[in-house]
Each structure stands twice: as structure tokens, then as C-alpha cells.
Structure 1
Amino acid sequence: MKAAVLNEFNRELALTEVEDPRIQHPGDVIVRVTGAGVCGSDVHWIEGAFKDVLGAPEFPYVLGHENGGYVEAVGSAVTSLQVGDPVLAHPHITCGLCRACRRNEASFCESLRFPGIDGRTAGGFAELFRTTEHALVKLPPGTDPAPMASLADAGLTAYHAVRRACGDLPADGVAVVIGVGGVGYFALQLLRLFSPARLIAVDRVAEKLRDAETLGADLTLSAGDELVDQVMEATGGTGVDLVMDCVGVAPVPEQSLAMLRRGGVYSALGADTGEACCGTLALTGRELTIKGNLVGTLGELAELAQLAARNRIQLTQTSYPLQDINRALSDLRHGTVRGRAVLVP
């Protein structure tokens, strides 16, 4: 099969022929990929940013952790899926047996595999992809899984974060979404869906701010050094109840903490070079909360897929053929992608 392969850090991905994945365990499922989301984490892997945390990958390595497609083959123990079913793959493959899994905290599974990210398990920048029955959400018959692919990480992370944050956001409160890219695009919609609070969207790109208005933002602001002052002015000097940082680049975390009201919540969705630093005196005196968000649960992915199937959220994507993976990555780096970049093998 064809796959986009990372052979070494700081090099373009190579489109090459690799061995087809095979059923190795009774619960395995092979998916024919029709949509694979392109994420900032893919850029980080290519640049070697994850090396110190995850170690060097097993080159050649196939990236891609947002995957949708059709069931191509199933293991002998698979009972809920048949060849041809449209499916959406949760980005984590878990054991279902360890303490974390049994506490519904599968993202912390002791045997966690993270295709396209962990450096060992091949992802979906390819024509075929191996996962497990437990990691798949079966979509309604006739559903095209390609537009749904971005739900598997960008959408799921936003859904997980918004559901966790809604209890901290009063109906008359104010929430800020910083970065209306792949993740922020979903976070803004989901906040609008679940909360009547006032929403402020922040981005550097004027076109994305126009998109934010159509997605439900009450106010849009351009990112920059004056952002905190602008937010404080817009809130009469009190600050906001919630900041959802979908960027993670300095100085956004620092700005986010500075614009919170007393008792406010900083929710980090973007993972990059920024540091969420706050002195303990400010942290306790202002009673701030800092939350990190790592994708979400399989149940949350199923719920999100249902929302999409009922057209309760918009799915905007920029599609690229598999051979144009490096152009997709370049567009992502330069912030020119509308919605989510999705490879269509």
C-alpha cells in the first residue's frame, strides 16, 4: 500500500510503498482510510519536538492519528463490525483491563498505544490502518467517514474540554477561545451549543475571525500584545470565567491566566512551547484552576459523532490527496488551513 512515511526528523514525508497491515490478534480490525486529519502534533513529530518525551520513533514511521474509513478486514473475535461498515477510529488503543481503563480513564491506560504518535504504532497517513474493535465507533449506514475524520482528535479534544468546563461557566459568564484553527473551530461551536455564556474568539487570521462570527462568537479579537487589555476592557475590568487555549504557544498561556477573573479556569487544549506559569500567591489568592486536556473517551467520541450526524456542528475541512501531504503540512504551519486539513488517500 501507499503511505506517507517519516524517515528522519526535519525532512519532508516520503510517499512510498509499505507492507499492508495484517490481522495479528483476534480483536484487530483493518480500516481502509478515506480521511486522515493533519494535526499540529504531526508537525511536532517531524520537527523532533516529542523526542525527549517519547523517544525517537521506529523509522520509517507512519504518522496520522485522526482516522476514518471503512472496515476492510476483521479478526476472529470481532462481533460488532462487518467488512464495509463506515467507522471512526478513537486515537488511543487501550487494554480495557487496567485500573485506569476500569475507572473510565482510558487515556492513562498502562498499555496505551497511540497510532501515529507513540513512535511504534503506525498511523493513518496510508491507504490501510490497523486498530482494534474496541477503538472504533461504528457510524450510521451510508455515512461518509472522510469528513468525520477530524472529530477523532481535534473534535474529541474540544468536546472533552468543553464538557469538563461547562460546570465552571455560568450562564451569564464569559468564555474566550484562543485560536480558531482545527481544535478551536470545534471548541467554539460546542461552547455555543452547550452554554448561553458570552463567547469571545481570538485569532491572528482575519478570515478565521470571520468564520468565528458565523460559528457563534459574540466578539472577535485579533491576537497580539494588547489582547489582555482588550479582554479586560470588554468585560468591564472583571476578566473572564474561562479561557480555552487551543494554541499553546507563548505568550498565550501567560495572557490567558492574566485575563481570568477571580475563580476563573484556564483550560489548555493546544500543546506547544508555551508554559502555564503562575505564582502560588496568585493561584491561591485568585483561586484559579488550570486544566489540561488529552483527547477524550470512546463514549465522548460516539456522542460527538451523533452530534455531527444530526448536523448540530459544522464540519469544515480542507482536503488534500495523500501525495500532497507535505503541502498540507506547510499550509498548517503557515496558518492558512480553514477548519481541519484532511488527507484523502
Structure 2
Amino acid sequence: DNLFAVGLQTRQQLDIMRGGDTRVLCVDTTYCKKQYEIFLFSFLLPDGYGKGYPVAHFLTNHQDERTLHYLFSSLKERCPTLKISAVMTDDSKSGSNAHKGLSYLFGETRHLLCHSYLGRLWKWRMKMTCKDDKGLQVEVMTFLSAIIQEVSADFFQDLSNSFIEKYSSRCPQFTENFNKNYMKRTVQWAKCQRLALDGTTDSIPVCRDLSEKLKSYFKNRKVKRKIHDLMLVLLNFWNDIHVDVQTNGTGVTSNEAENWDNEPFLQTLDFQSEEIRASNEAYDELEKLRNYLQHPNVKNHQQLAQHIANKMTNVTAILKELTEQCESIIPADSVQMHTETEVATKNIIDSVTY
């Protein structure tokens, strides 16, 4: 009940997914609590340059295994040739559920933890448990870096045992957490146990780039953004990578770059474009009308209703034009879409008394 779900994928992103090689699929999860209280799942594929590129995005207000399995099934429908050797996520519940949902679709796959994420998480926990000893923080993080990057299984075990023995008395809380939560699942993060799978994929810089882009988008937002604004941020992020690929030759193999057009896809979709300004102005106008309708002295409801209908026609036409420029991952007949336009229309029209 009350499911909200939107999938987004450009034609070029779908072409990348159809590469045919068995690869590690990275899933970056972002909880958009401040603005929408929904989850953003971004799918990224690594490349030969150690960077990678986004190939799909999902927005949903549910993160359980069943919902994610249902949403991600559209990936299988759109790209049946996609082969996944492993799924790399952060160490959150959302990441774990994303791995399980994909495993149901593509068969049992390895679950890997991103090294960059683990490094930031361990560093944060060290600061929380050993606030007054910065020297110890640096020492522990250096030791952990050696452990996580060790390629010899035997030496990895020796290093891990030495770490626990050495720091169990100096930072007991951190060491206990590390021993309890990570030493029992080293297959997910130890480099020595993922060499046969893909020894070059430990973390994807583009995941961090996307996270920083989203943080910049949400930071200090006093005015609530709309869902279509966030979708445009994701599309523009892809455009930035696409331009970088074509101008610098990074982030994608040369053969793939040669098959792309010279101009970036959806290059006109920016926040300063006439269509986006018109859409935002229409939404703001609808919000004003909604507040106006709540005023007890409002009498001419029929005239206002006609004005609202005209505004909604403009908004719907703008959003339809934007939507037609990209392809939605979610099939229209399998998931009931609820857009802000529909919600705004229903709320306002329901308030009108003829």
C-alpha cells in the first residue's frame, strides 16, 4: 500500500548495460529524508579505468526485499543479457536488501562491500570511540588499510589477529565491534577473498561523485524541491560523465565512445531552461491556489477551478515533453505511478466546491 516508485534510464545507459560481460554491479543508496522521505537506488557499472558510470536509478519509499525485487525485475526485462558476478553496496540495510533483490533475479551473486565506504565508516567510529587520541585514530586506520588491502589469505589472518590483540585494550569498543561485525564476513570486504572475482573493483569513485552531487543538491534547501528536479539532477550527472567521456576519453572504453553521438544526450535539460522554469512556476502557482482555496472568504470557486485546470494542462504538457526524452525503467502496466502532478491535482480539485 502507498507505494511510490519511479525508474529512470537513458538510452545510452541501457546500451552500456547490454555490454555482455559479467561484471560487478555497484548499488549506491541515498535516503532523501530531508526532502521526500524516499530512497534513491543508483546502479553503476565499473569500467577499465577504475571509475564507472551510472546505468539506472530507482526512486521508491520502500526498501524491503520484496519491493526491490519487484522493481529491479524491470532491469532483467529490459536487459536479459546482463550478467552480474557480484553486487557491491555499502553496509546498510538498504544495500543488503538490494543485493538480495538482485540475487533473486540473476541467481546467487556475491555481496561485496565498498572499501571507500568501509574506510569512512571505520574512521567515523574511531572518532566516536577515541575522540581525544588523534594519534591512535591514525594508527588504527593505517593498520586497517593494510588489512583490507592484503592479498595473501594467510597473512591477512595474521594481520587481523594481531590487530585485535594489539588494540583490544587501547580501543576496546571499536575492536569489539570490528571483531563481531566484520571478522565473520571477511568474504564481503577482504581483498584477498575477491581477487578471483574482480581484483580491480574495490570501490567506484563515481559513487562518491554522485553522493557529493546529491549532498550539494539537498544541502541548505529551504524551499522544498520537486521529484522532477531530483530526476533532472540525475540526468545532468549522467550528462557530465558523458561529456567527460567524449572530450577526455575517461570513464568508458574507446569502442563504446565511438558508438555515441557527438552531442551529449539531453544536454538541454538544465535548471535554467525555459521548460524547467515554466514547470516550477506552475507548481508554485498551484501551491498558492491551494492556500487561497483554504481562505474562508473565497467565493468564486468555479473561476478558480478553471484557472487550476489551465495550469495543470501546462504542467502536464511540460512534464510529458521531458519524460519522452528518456525511457522509464518501470513498465507502465506493472507499477502504478504516482507523480506530484497527480497528487497536486487531486488535492486541489477535491478542495473546490462548485
- TM-score scaled to structure 1, two decimals? 0.28
Q: Choose between structure 1 and 2: higher strand proportion.
A: 1
Give the TM-score, by structure 2 length.
0.28
For the pair shown, the structure with the greater C-alpha radius of gyration is: 2
Structure with greater helix percent: 2
Structure with bigger RCO (C-alpha 8 Å, 6+ apart)? 2
